[in-house]
Each structure stands twice: as C-alpha cells, then as structure tokens.
Structure 1
C-alpha cells in the first residue's frame, strides 16, 4: 500500500461537481489542482477544499505534483487535452467518449503506450452495485448460458430541458454517441467484447424547438440520426439489441435485460451506480430482487479514477482506455452500418473487465499508485 495518487482536474463545468464531491471522500486519490478556461469557475471549485489550488491549464499540465489529469472538457477537446497530459508524462482519465472519433482516440492510446502512462475513461457507472450485481449473477450461472440482451434508452429529446441543445442534433451527437457509452459499456462488462454489428437509423423531424432558457421557442436544425437501432454480436455468440432514441416518449421495459437459457435479468439504469437487479428463473413465479452482491457501494462519478489508482502496475483499469476505445468503435460501427446498409466488423477488442467485489471506497480505504 502507498500514498494516494495526486490528481488535477481540467474542466470545471457542471459535471465536475459530482467528481469533486467523490474526490472529497476517496482516500485513493488526492486532489491538488483544478483548471478551467474560465478562471472564476476554477476558483469556485477550490472553495472549502484545503490544499487545492486553482491554476491555468498550462500550469496544471506542467505541475510536478500532478500525477494524473482528470479530463472533464467538452468531447471535441478530449484527445487534445489527453495528448498534452501524456506529453507531460502524466496519466489521464477522461469523461466519455475517449475522443470524438476512433482515429483521434487511437492517437491517445498510442501516445500513452509510448510514454508508459495509464489511460482511463468514463463511464464508471459500470463499477457500481447495479451492473456488478448483475454480472455476478451471470458469472454464478443464475440465468444459465447467456443468449441475448436488450439495451433501451427512449426519451423525447434534450431540447425540452437543455437551453443550448444544438450539439445533440449535429454529426457527432445523437442519442447513440450521447448516451450509448453507458449502455454499451455495461453490455461489454456483462457479456464481453463485440465482433460485428448491424445498424439502422432514422430522423423523424428536420428541426427541434428549444423548450427552455433564453432561446426558448427557437428552431434548430437536425442533421444526424435521432433514433438508432443496432444488433451487436458478441465474441461469445450472444446477440444484444440496442435502441437509442430522442424521438419517442418513454419505455416501461428495463433499461437493460439479459436473457439466458434458464433465467432472465432486468437491470437498473446504467447511467446510475446502483438500483435493483431483478431475476426471473425458469419455472419460477414472478420476478425476484437479487441482494446486492458486487460493486462499489455508494459510488459516484470519479470512482473510476480511484479504481485506476488502485489498479496494480501493468494491469488495465476496469474503466480503462482500451474499453473506452472498444465502446467508441462499436458505436461508430453501428452508425457506419446504418449509413452503408451492411454488417460491419468491429476491428478492436477489449477483455471483459475484472469484476468488482462488494466493497466501499472511502476515508478509511488506502490507495496504491497505478504506475
């Protein structure tokens, strides 16, 4: 066991608040600096945090006491900041996606390998008790051999609540690239890597009307698919059906279901760390709630950084760059299939991440450096 991993955060927008709250109680990491293009936001992030300083991006990247950079910038800047951190000899953990394209993400992984630093990538929701309890049930054989899975996210569109939703309706946006990382990361964690996909996409409206904020009532153009369906073939032979939509209202089905020869599982929202896992057994009478049996208890965004800090040297973090790249490759391949009307092989792969045994990470936990 050793000292906590010293980290710095770049990007102090809305999502940073959840990360900072986790870092306040995670003993495996030690927050030393924050930076943002808006100095007032960086300064605000230091309030009430002893030993944490506000810095410019350049100052944080060059700081000798920062060992890992937590990259919470906008998606289009993910690879740029990651490459600067790696060039400075620092490991990096980024919000999803790893980069805006697989080509740009590949440069990050290649640079990290040459520099002998570690890359982590959100979402880390898969490390919580929801997905991990379901994974433990699969590994114990509660549903027999897995056969199929479904992953469904149906909402009417972010323009109803977001004051500036333009990005979600342009290439690089859409429901799959926005929310798909949570669902696809969960499917790979549960069932292993994907080898090929078939996808299709549609767009129900050419414009959207902003429903809140100073631009309320303004029409914005839609230039990307807003309903995406894909069939993912896992290396194990399991078939997962993915439905990601900004075009409908809601669904009553579980966010993720996994079906096996002798049982089925219904999982909670993969955008959460917890929630009930339901089990229906062959010849059983109704659904049963499984007791929590795996995952980090009381987890929140940023637990993937602590998990990285506790990862043995040379091992891939559970929320690692290799998994983040594979998830991005799967999603790009679904969109490629939809555009080309053909099955598309997924050329990357990732090992199914190691399971998380039921445990808590908090003030009494000790951290070890990840190398």
Structure 2
C-alpha cells in the first residue's frame, strides 16, 4: 500500500453530494444561494470519531459553531477535550503580531492551553501522548504568509510522527476566488512561508492540508492520517465575509482583501496602519511625498510598538477602494519605493521582505526599476505549474 493510500481523504463524490443541494427559489423565480456552512457545523460527520476519545483542539477565537465557541459546543455534547493548542495571537486572538504567547489554562473551561507560538511552534510527542485524536479548526485568509497555515503544517508533521489522526474542519477562504503572486523559493522558507505556493494560493485550509500530504511536504515520507470535513454550499467563487476578525489587525473584510498586497510593506519602513483604527487599509511613512492622507500610529492593544509609532505618516487611505477588484497588486509598494528619499533605508535590515515575498527577486527588481508588468512575467512559469498541481487537491468547484 502506498503512503498516499493511507491518507484518509473524503471522496470528491461525497463532498459534492454534501454541497450539491438544489438552491431554493424565491417567489420571483430567482435562485437563492443556500447559506455557507463551515465544516465545524457538520457535527454528524465528525462527532462519532470524537466520542469516547481524548481530544486535542487546535483553535482560536474564529473556531465557532454558530455563535458559540467550538470548544464549548463540543464539551456540551460530551466530547472529552483535554488540551487546547493555540496559534499566533493566542486562544482568544488578542496578542499582537509576533508577540510570544505563553501556555496557560482556559479560565472558562479549565482546559490546559498549549501555545504553538511560544516555546515551540510544533506540538511535542509528550504533548500528544495523552491524546487519541486532534481537531484543527482555524479561519485562514488565503495568503502564504499568514501563519495559521504554518501551524497547520507543524501539527500535521507532529501527528504523522506519532501516528495520531487529524481532523480538519474546513472553512471558506475569503481570498479564495483567485490565485496570484510568486511561488516561494524553498531557500527562503520560514514561519511566514513554509510551502512552495504563491502569495495568494486559492485553497481552503482543508485543501492545503491535502496538498501538504499529497506533495510530501512533511518530508521523510511522513503522511498524516487526515480527514477533512468540508464546507457545505461553497465554491471558490462564493462571496464570504468572515463573521469574526481572524487576528487583531485584520478587523474587517476590506483589510482581509487588501492584506495580500499590503503585507509586503511589513518588510519596509512603511506603516500599514498598525496602531490605528484602519489596520491594513492605510499605508504611509514620514515622507510627505507618499500621499495626502495623514495618520499617527500609537501603541494599543493588538499593536504593541507599531512601526512608525508616534510619528506623523503621509500616504494613502485605501479603505474605500474596490479591494476585491484590486486583487494582488504591487503598484503601491513600487510607488512608495520610487518616492522614498533614501532608498538604502527603505527595506528593513532583517530582509523580512524577502521572507514575505518568498525570494529576493522583488527587492532586486525594485532596485533595478523593473516595472510591475515585467515583475509579473517573471513569476508566471512557476505560477502556471502551481495552478496545474492545485487542481489535484480541490474539494470545491
């Protein structure tokens, strides 16, 4: 038996049977789209696998069943949850980006919380030893550098090493309607980019888990015993607004749609609005040439010591543009670089831009004055190959 046959995939026929219900029709005769139901809502598909088992949950504030947290819901159904694992920003999603989170105990349930963004990013064998099955349910936003998918990778790797099954409760991708950007060069692998996928990968977290398994990205022939519980009434073209902010600095749909383009600025001196009430919707620095919009970042909950703290920044307010139509764009980072008074100080000395972009090519191309059209051409061959590979792992049309 090959390793791939060991993967506990739900068949596509079963997936489409779940999601292919006929839409109801209003009196006007127009089709009415049935509401999107995340995998967590399909309790009949995974509850039997949890009853009588010691369960570990990889969850945060987005892990809800209706309006109630999934941990509370499953506990009330008799599921024995013994450990909660939390990603970046913590179990309640309140920690700042990059802020280390200590392990603790949930005051509401008394369940032990193990941080996967503190002493270790990957669950240890000792932490998994007392568990029978793990459940992953975290809302992603569809970009390579959003670290919840890095946590998914390490959880899959840990489960594969000790033979623990993993159930992924799938959720819609708010940026899942397109695929774009450079594919990561493995030489630039980091916690903000672990897989050779483009910036906007066009996968739900369940589809990505299938890809990680199928492409042997866990290494050493390791394969996770994976089950994906699908989203019902969903396609990659289904508009979906997240009901809960996925992290402190993505407060609304506009910020989530702009995030693929604006996150690259985090490798530069330009502020993306951390420390304001328009996070990832405004961009600026103390350079007046950037644009007419003015803002001053301040230290606040969820944005400790934000870039350009206390400094008057000039730039652009993008909160009113059509971010859905914009897609993944480099025009802003190119424009701000061209206007920078000291280009030698535009990029952070940590080369964080290279990690976010997945290679050093953007930095070198900006320095060489390469236009966006040519930059886009440079990533097309790898992007085309990725799109072909991606088709093998899609669960939704």
TM over 0.5: no
Query: Structure 1 or 2: larger strand share?
Result: 1
TM-score bucket of the superposed structures, by smaller chain: 0.3 to 0.5
Give 1 or 2 for the bigger CA radius of gyration. 2
